[in-house]
Amino acid sequence: MDKGLYDTLMTIAVVVMAIGGLNWGWTAVMSWMNESEELDLDLLQGTLGLPPDFANVVYMLAAVCSLVVAGVVLTAMYSKPKVVM
Burial of 28 (0-12, 13-18, 19+ CB in 10 A): buried
Residue 38 is predicted with a pLDDT of 53
In a domain, 53, yes or no: yes
What predicted TM-score, i.e. pTM, was given to this entire model?
Answer: 0.75
Domain holding 65, by residue range, is 15-30+45-77
Are 56 and 28 in contact, with CB atoms under 8 Å apart? yes
Query: Of all helices (H) and strands (E), which one includes residue 47?
Result: none
In a domain, 69, yes or no: yes
b (16+ CB within 10 A) / e for 44-65: bbeeeebebeebbeebbebbee
For the segment 27-47, the average pLDDT, to the nearest whole number, is 74
In a domain, 4, yes or no: no
Residue 81 is predicted with a pLDDT of 74
In a domain, 5, yes or no: no
Q: How many domains does the chain have?
A: 1
In a domain, 57, yes or no: yes
In a domain, 37, yes or no: no
